[in-house]
Amino acid sequence: MASSSGFATTRWSLVLAAGQPRADEDGADAQAALEMLCQAYWMPVYAYLRRRSAQVDDAQELTQAFFAHLLERNALAAAAPDRGRFRAFLLTACKHFVAHERERERAQKRGGGVRTWSLDFESGEARFQLEPVDCLTPERLFERQWALTLLDRVLQLLRAEFARHGRERNFDLLKAYLGGTAPESYALLGEQLDLSEGAARVAVHRLRRQYRELLREEIAQTVASPEQVDDEIRDLFAALA
């Protein structure tokens, strides 16, 4: 599907369209797109809630309850005004949810009949424990975990692309060069890949180019227009600075 401007409809732009009155026919597709985005980017929400709560169980329950709330059909129409980026929408929606959840739980015990999601909280908690204890606010931690989640997702997508061609070993050897500095000599890499030194340099160059392309494609899934991609990349690396 493409818009009149030639910008292919991405997951988030499809979700945004479903929030408009005339988008009923796209509602199911948008709901599926929203669920995919939530499954991909739940970790920043968990990190935000975990930093706000000293109790692991509370943060996990709130994360489950938040996504159950968000993925209700009528939640799309109530999206925050600043929703051009899925990252900003998700954080704003989470803040609003937490503000109202404390009142709601007094009247009704959480959990009865609420849909839950298959989220790997064990690995999420392990990642959270790597963060500095007092250096980041919940909001800053959300931004940092968003950046780390996105970069890890791109790395996994790139590895899957290599795996489709039976080249997992090549990827495992090449990925150390993605940071811009070579941990080993290109001559040694060539020996490991059964390539000349020059061919090894070309392989690293191609991997970096593929990584950049996949990064832009993945970010495009979370913004409403292509003009926002470069700004989102700048914000991504600022969060890691």
5 is a domain residue? no
Q: Which residues of the chain have pLDDT under 70?
A: 1-9, 19-26, 54, 73-83, 102-122, 124-135, 180-183
93 is a domain residue? yes
Structural domain for 49, as ranges:
11-240
- pLDDT tens for 170-193 read 999 999 888 766 667 899 999 999
Position 110 scores a pLDDT of 47
Position 1 scores a pLDDT of 36
- pLDDT tens for 195-227 read 999 999 999 999 999 999 999 999 999 998 888
Position 5 scores a pLDDT of 39
209 is a domain residue? yes
Total structural domains within the chain: 1
Q: Cα(164)–Cα(208) distance, rounded to whole angstroms?
A: 18
2 is a domain residue? no
Position 165 scores a pLDDT of 93
33 is a domain residue? yes
149 is a domain residue? yes
Position 91 scores a pLDDT of 92
1 is a domain residue? no
138 is a domain residue? yes
